Chain A
């Protein structure tokens, strides 16, 4: 086993070999998930706590289902409404939960780096379910799995990431992962939605979507994150849709077999045309959701193995 990580905080800390191992294992969980009886016992007896400091439906449901299918006891803490409002700090919340001896902690937080901070204070495995604008590693892994299954490989592809890159943790994790796997990357966005210093990312940059989509294998659309904007990034949603919304005409510049992806939830008619999103020949958006559960099962399985091994070594007093 090459996957050595104690936590899954970001793609940045993973090697290409570790990424491949996650994807290989996730492929097996896809098969399991397609059976009628989906249960496994690899996390039996373990406790998983989902701690979401930011509202989420899809990601939380996906992690919950992944844990349950592996036999873990899953608890959802809706932190957004609880003690944090009473003034408790992130670290105190983490220490309180840590005292309940969970094995896996799934955390989403609105501040970049908050999950790294929390992971340094607990002695269970921490999975980053999205921190601010920093990383969303399981999203990048599920995107990679989706691409690999659709294209037969996750190397030497031309991938365009389009839209609100500045505010997107999905974009950051994806560009790190796709870069590590040696793909050619293009970022397409209005200049106001490109992050500062983007010219150092090693990607090709476009503000013209048609040019940017020419000959690409994969089109990754991003949600326009209205809630993260303090106004004035784009003139209007209708102008944004006209220039950067994915429709049939713009998609015609991509390769004829190019796939269309979106991390969801979609703003139909803002960044993507509804018909493209629903086109089963081009859109893999539903597959992404399915792969999400499998990838999260794989990540939790691998982290649990490392956790067991670490605790085993500690129990017999081996120097680590």
Chain B
């Protein structure tokens, strides 16, 4: 372990700089938790680490991670989530408020902020937009902002109380708060466990039409236009919703969009013989949709890639598909899964790192995601080509519900630093 006040000089590294869009060999110098030099000679007394040509990039900012505190600590704690994140090259976790109870008061936010000290990586919290995430009454957005909330969201619960939502958006707008929405028409998606398709029909699974995403998105964008709130779509997963995102951006609305790594690397066929680890919210989409999302990330229409890490215990997954819990863990698999998009030739590393690190940090007003002098020394060193077979038992999360179990992956994290301190190393 290096220590904060020491000077760390990382040489012979392939620097992945999403801000500059460059991928070039060089060195970084780190002191007091920040980057103090780039391609500079090693200062006297510095601890020098030869990176052997491996990739050095800003740590991942994973937006939308579920941690089981409070309420479900047996599924994931701040400590276990932090260890998994560090091993996965994630240096900042943006935690979700869909806990039990929901994080909808400054008191619960203070509780999780205190508990988060157990994590080896940075944790920032989103708070609920409405009380109990019920969609009817806005939370104390002002107090919650003061207590450190970085964004406001009811996560996967979609309010049908449009008037209450309009008021919450208007109020959030006045405080400059960022609202995160889940584009889904809840009436159309009620009871669905899969996306409508021949495959889902033959499996006898109740499905949702992909149009439900665009319907929900269009309603929310209407409210954004009406109120002027800063807004982010947590996950865009269907090709049919993309034109709405493009139009909103072209019209100058303060809108960004994300997508989960699972919707970029898996499709609805992967459910196979009712494999519940592939049950996600929203459900996995067709291959055409997946390809459209990959292209949208490459073109910058979709800004953010995240894991939507959702721990679920074995019991809640060992059920018939319709009854099983939804969601997958992803903190530790996000990086190797995302590298598939590079290995497949769909995008280069700086483009990928924009979506994994720079864009979410910028949108949330965080200084992370950059390799510039003065930026926090939150870094990940990885070899993008190391092949391995994923064994879910070896994941550091308390819950092991990954869809990538026994899959071949490429790309392994070698070391992770947060504020210049190494928090993971092989």
Report how many residues on chain B are interfacial, defined by Cβ distance under 8 Å.
Answer: 23
Contacts A113-B204, A135-B204 hold; do A196 and B319 have CB atoms under 8 A apart? no
Separation of A109 and B323 alpha carbons in the complex (Å): 12
Q: Say whether B197 contacts A197, CB under 8 Å.
A: yes
Q: A134-B203, A135-B204 are in contact. List 11 more A-B contacts (CB 8 A).
A: A90-B319, A91-B318, A112-B274, A112-B320, A112-B321, A117-B319, A132-B204, A133-B204, A133-B205, A134-B204, A200-B198
Q: Say whether A116 contacts B204, CB under 8 Å.
A: no
Binding site for B on A (CB under 8 A): 12, 89-91, 109, 111-114, 116-117, 131-135, 166, 169, 172, 176, 195-201, 230
> How does the 8 Å CB contact mask read for B177-211 relative to A, with 1 for contact and 0 for none?
00000000000000100001111111111110100
Separation of A113 and B322 alpha carbons in the complex (Å): 9
Contacts of B320 in A (CB 8 A): 90, 109, 111-114, 117, 132
* Interface pairs (19), CB distance under 8 Å: A89-B318, A89-B319, A90-B319, A91-B318, A111-B321, A112-B274, A113-B203, A116-B273, A117-B319, A131-B204, A132-B204, A132-B320, A134-B203, A176-B202, A196-B197, A196-B198, A196-B207, A197-B197, A201-B202
Question: Is B315 an interface residue, CB under 8 A from the partner?
Answer: yes
Q: Say whether B274 contacts A196, CB under 8 Å.
A: no
Main secondary structure of the interface of B (DSSP, over half): loop
Contacts of A91 in B (CB 8 A): 318
Contacts A89-B315, A196-B196, A196-B209 hold; do A112 and B322 have CB atoms under 8 A apart? yes
Q: Which of B200, B209, B322 contacts A111 (CB 8 A)?
A: B322
> How does the 8 Å CB contact mask read for B383-418 relative to A, with 1 for contact and 0 for none?
000000000000000000000000000000000000
Q: Which of A117, A169, A198, A199 contacts B274 (CB 8 A)?
A: A117
Separation of A197 and B197 alpha carbons in the complex (Å): 5
Contacts of B323 in A (CB 8 A): 111
Q: Say whether B322 contacts A132, CB under 8 Å.
A: yes
Contacts of A89 in B (CB 8 A): 315, 318-319
Contacts of A134 in B (CB 8 A): 203-204
Separation of A117 and B319 alpha carbons in the complex (Å): 8
Contacts of A90 in B (CB 8 A): 319-320
Q: Say whether B196 contacts A197, CB under 8 Å.
A: yes
Separation of A132 and B205 alpha carbons in the complex (Å): 8
Contacts A132-B322, A198-B201 hold; do A230 and B191 have CB atoms under 8 A apart? yes
Separation of A114 and B322 alpha carbons in the complex (Å): 9
Separation of A85 and B274 alpha carbons in the complex (Å): 24
Separation of A293 and B266 alpha carbons in the complex (Å): 43
Contacts of A200 in B (CB 8 A): 197-198
Contacts of B197 in A (CB 8 A): 196-197, 200
Separation of A201 and B198 alpha carbons in the complex (Å): 7
Separation of A169 and B203 alpha carbons in the complex (Å): 10
Separation of A132 and B203 alpha carbons in the complex (Å): 9
Q: Say whether B204 contacts A172, CB under 8 Å.
A: yes
Separation of A114 and B198 alpha carbons in the complex (Å): 20
Within 8 A of A (CB), among B261-305: 273-274
Separation of A166 and B204 alpha carbons in the complex (Å): 9
Q: Say whether B201 contacts A169, CB under 8 Å.
A: no
Separation of A318 and B204 alpha carbons in the complex (Å): 38
Separation of A180 and B321 alpha carbons in the complex (Å): 27
Q: Shortest CB–CB separation between residue B200 and chain A, in angstroms?
A: 7
Contacts of B209 in A (CB 8 A): 196
Separation of A131 and B196 alpha carbons in the complex (Å): 19
Contacts of A131 in B (CB 8 A): 204
